[in-house]
């Protein structure tokens, strides 16, 4: 059986990032997430292999390419969404951000609950905010009906969808 690739993103520098159910690429452990160089070779500097637990599925991947002069440190970081509840030994409720080398970004969603159910897709806006969609009903403990937006640090953007119910299915 071939493991699925569920999402793809470009990092702005031409590199391709893929996410899904696979555990290796070309025989190299990559734990459901891999990045490729411009020539199509595996980027060996990006090493997320041991971060996601067995059985995890990544459904969404996005690369931060924001244009905010205040958030340039986040450019190139990878946002992932899926079924996981931890990344490495750190609790992360179905959404996390990785540094450019594939390690967990501890400044994002630090100490927050994340989503209460699967995140199916993620996107990073030009201002560094992260949009999530999925089968969740709350994010960081606040009702969000399958659609939510996070600030660049992973806190819930309470000005987005505030007072609205979100999607019904």
pLDDT tens column, 89-129? 889 999 999 998 888 999 999 889 999 999 999 998 888 89
- Give the mean pLDDT of 141-166: 85
Three-class DSSP category at 110: coil
Calculate the average pLDDT of the chain. Answer: 84
Strands 86-87 and 33-36: unpaired
Confidence of residue 1 (pLDDT cuts 50, 70, 90): very low
How many angstroms separate the Cα of 102 from the Cα of each of 23, 76, 139? 15, 10, 24
Residue 169, pLDDT above cutoff 60: no
- Give the mean pLDDT of 144-166: 84
Tokens standing for 140?
């960081």
Q: For residue 58, what are the β-bridge partners?
A: 82
pLDDT tens column, 63-73? 877 666 666 67
Residue 84, pLDDT above cutoff 80: yes
Residue 146, pLDDT above cutoff 50: yes
Tokens standing for 28?
């190299």
Cβ neighbours, 10 Å, residue 60: 25
Q: What's the whole-model pTM score?
A: 0.87
Q: Report d(CA 6, CA 120) in Å as an integer.
A: 9
DSSP 8-state code for residue 73: G
């Amino acid at each position: 059986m071939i493991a699925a690739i569920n999402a793809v993103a470009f990092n702005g520098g031409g590199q391709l990032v893929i996410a899904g159910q696979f555990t290796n690429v070309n025989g190299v452990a990559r734990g459901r997430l891999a990045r490729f160089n411009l020539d199509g070779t595996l980027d060996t500097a990006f090493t997320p292999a041991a971060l996601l637990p067995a059985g995890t599925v990544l459904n969404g991947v996005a690369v931060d390419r924001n244009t905010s002069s205040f958030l340039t440190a986040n450019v190139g970081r990878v946002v992932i969404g899926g079924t996981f509840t931890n990344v490495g030994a750190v609790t992360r409720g179905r959404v996390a951000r990785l540094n450019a080398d594939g390690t967990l970004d501890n400044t994002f969603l630090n100490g927050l609950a994340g989503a209460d159910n699967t995140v199916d897709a993620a996107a990073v806006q030009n201002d560094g905010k992260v949009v999530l969609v999925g089968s969740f009903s709350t994010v960081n403990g606040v009702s969000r009906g399958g659609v939510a937006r996070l600030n660049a640090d992973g806190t819930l953007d309470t000005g987005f969808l505030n007072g609205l119910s979100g999607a019904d299915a």
